[in-house]
Structure formats: structure tokens, C-alpha cells
Amino acid sequence: MPPGARLAELHARVNGWYVREGRDLPWRDADCSPWGVFLSEVMAQQTPLSRVEPVWREWMERWPTPAALATAAPGDAVRAWGRLGYPRRALRLHEAATVMVERHGGNVPDSHEELLGLPGVGAYTAAAVACFAFGEPEVVVDTNVRRVLARAVEGRAFPHLTLTRAESALARDCMPLERERANTWNVAVMELGALVCVARGPRCEDCPVADLCAWNLAGRPAYDGPARRGQAWHGTDRQVRGEILQRLRTAHGPVVLGLLEDAGPDRAQVMRCLDSLVADGLVEPLSRKRFRLPG
């Protein structure tokens, strides 16, 4: 099959699979606001969607617009974030909402360039929001997209450890030219990587392009690149920081230092993590060795 015909077949099959098999998520509804899409993209970074959805629904009910969140205290955002992970994202969302009110009339900006100007928004989030909220066919590249393209097009088990220019160029070259098909492709190839072409135990028997996949056709050769280590959790600073924040979330007022000192394996680590939370703006120090979420 000629390269152009093969790519067109990939588009048709993956997009068709998504229409049949894609998850029914609230931020994918046609009537979801750009703010709802923006929230989902920030919340979903390195976080399973099953954990994101209940928190997203709570936030949309409590803060249905950027202006609603901007009027809340930053600590309310951190508290409502719960254990979603990487809590600095809650502060960045609050800051982004404030900028939307101050510079964009309380709306999510609709251009890629203006989205990049929001606090905490990088290339992926700007492209995803432009595409999924406003129908602009930007090139959207996340870990799932990179893995699908590495396997289906390049015949490799995994992409590089970090995004390369070559991978970005590949994603751009694989985009359909027609606007609507391109926007569907962006979410469809991402969904395929999340549900079928997964990192461990890929379900090739359920893949709509298994007979076109370069990696599958080559006999699924093993990965031979640098070691891919999973992120540790137990006993790490991330775990301790999360435990400190959880104690502050559930408190009815400021918490004295003595009630935080056993939040980790040793006091030195707890103090280091507490200092880092204060430096990040996630915790506010008060007099008499008391701490609270930012007001």
C-alpha cells in the first residue's frame, strides 16, 4: 500500500474506532464550555481520567466559569483539588482564571498563542484546548500519541524518553489535512493509546490498525533503548508533601507544626517538604509555628 494510502487508511480506521469505542466523558460533550475543556486538560496531566472525572464535576459545579474560580481563595482551589496529584496545578488554575478575567473578559482565550500566555500552560495544553474547545487543528502530542505513532508508523515498541523534534514532526505529518478529521484524529489516536495500545500488555487483538502497524508486523520487537523506570511513590517527598496537604485540607483552621511532624518517615524530610510547599505557595506559614492553605 502506498504511504499516502496507508496513512489515509490509518486515519479512517482510528477515527472510526473512536466513534464506536471512545469513552463518554463530560468534557467531550458538544455543549461543554471551553472552561470545562480547559479544566479537564489541566487535571488530566499525568492523572488517570477515572480519578479526574469526579473532581472535574465538583469544580464545574462550584466554579462553572473562570470568574467564579478567580473570586475564590487560592486555598479553596488547593483544598478542592484533593488527592488528584501535583497540587501546584490547582494554584496555576486559579492564576489562569484570574488572568482570563483580567485580560480576556472572563473567557478562555481561543488562540494557541494567547493560551500559551496563561500561567501554567505549556505547548501540549495550549494545543489541546485550541483543538478540543475551539476546533483549531493544532498538533496535539501526549505520551499516548507518541506511543501509538512509534509503534504503528515507526515500528518501535516505545517512543524516546522525552519528546523529540522528530516525534513532533512525525505527529504533524500524520495529521489529516481536513479540519474535522484532524480534530477527531487528535482525540482518537490519544484514546487508542490510552485503551488499546497501552504501555504494558498492548491489546493488539483489539486494535483497529493491527494489520497496518509496523511494530506488530515486525513481530513486536523488544524495546532496546535507555531504561524506562516508573516513578517511585512510597517514602518520597511527593508522598510526604501530599500527606501534609491532606492534613491541612481536612483541618478546620490553622495546624500547628507538631501535628505535621509525623507526616513522613523522618522529621528532617517533613521539614524539607513543608519548606518546599511554602516556597511553592501551597502552604501559608503563620505565627506560633502554625500553617494553613493559602487564603
Q: Which residue has the cell 484514546?
A: 191
Q: How far apart are CA 115 and CA 154, in angstroms?
A: 31
- What is the helix (H) or strand (E) element at residue 147, kind and residue range? helix 143-152
Q: How far apart are CA 204 and CA 148, in angstroms?
A: 11
| Residues with a known catalytic role | 41
Q: Where are the beta strands (DSSP E) in the chain?
A: 255-256, 284-286, 290-292
User: Any residues with CB less than 8 A from the CB of 159 and at least 6 apart, and which?
Assistant: 143, 146, 147, 149, 150, 167
> For the chain, give me the number of helices (H) and strands (E)?
14, 3
